[in-house]
Amino acid sequence: MSKRDLKKYLAELNKEQLEEQIIELYEKFSPVKVYYNFVFNPKEETLLQECKLKISQEYYPLKKSGRRSKPKMRRSVAQKYIKHFIILGVDPFLIADVMLYNIEIAQTFSAENVIKHELFYKSMFNSFEQAVVYLIANGILTDFKARIIAIHNQSISQKWFNEPEFNAVIERFEY
């Protein structure tokens, strides 16, 4: 069914029928429920704190029965939250904060631990590039420029092999 056909169908329904359909969608489909719960009670700060906690646990897992769990360092956890926040229509400043936090916590972990997996560095660069593109697209780059520069400086001080790629991204928006 096309959007046009849907609009035509919905125009034919009365208010009660529309309400019934929306309630049915709300009850049947979890994403619809999540969307409406967010729209009517955003609690963006709570979502942000929950998200940051989950991301940090990827690098600094909670201790279980006195033993420290091994860090998983999955970029996908942050990406899942970012995608979810974009779909919900969360404030771009909060989304940008999550994007940069993901890289910053990974760099904090990297400063304390030797990481031999080249994929980790490539993944962090992808996150960095995605964040810069998002910041530019939303016109908020200047608000986050200091954090972007700090991330680049960390890639230099930690001697990341792909630091020149970080530098190339920085050079694109500085000149």
- Whether residue 92 sits in one domain with residue 8: no
Regarding pTM above 0.85, the answer is no
pLDDT at 106 over 90: yes
- Whether residue 115 sits in one domain with residue 74: yes
Written as six digits, the tokens of 68 are 């420290």
- Whether residue 161 sits in one domain with residue 96: yes
Q: Residues in the chain, how many?
A: 175
- Whether residue 158 sits in one domain with residue 80: yes
Most distant CA pair in the chain, distance? 64
How many folded domains does the chain comprise?
Answer: 2
Question: How much is the pLDDT for 34?
Answer: 81
Averaged pLDDT of the chain: 91
Task: Tally the C-alpha atoms within 13 A of residue 160's C-alpha that lie toward its C-beta.
Answer: 26
- Whether residue 46 sits in one domain with residue 33: no
- Whether residue 142 sits in one domain with residue 101: yes
Q: How crowded is residue 151: how many other Cβ atoms within 10 Å of its Cβ?
A: 23
The SS3 call for residue 64 is strand
Per DSSP, which regions of the chain are E strands?
none
Question: How much is the pLDDT for 31?
Answer: 84
- Whether residue 63 sits in one domain with residue 133: yes
pLDDT mean over 115-124: 94
- Token pair 């991301």: residue: 55
- Whether residue 13 sits in one domain with residue 77: no
- Whether residue 136 sits in one domain with residue 77: yes
Range of 18's domain? 1-41
pLDDT at 145 over 80: yes
- Whether residue 71 sits in one domain with residue 32: no
- Whether residue 64 sits in one domain with residue 8: no
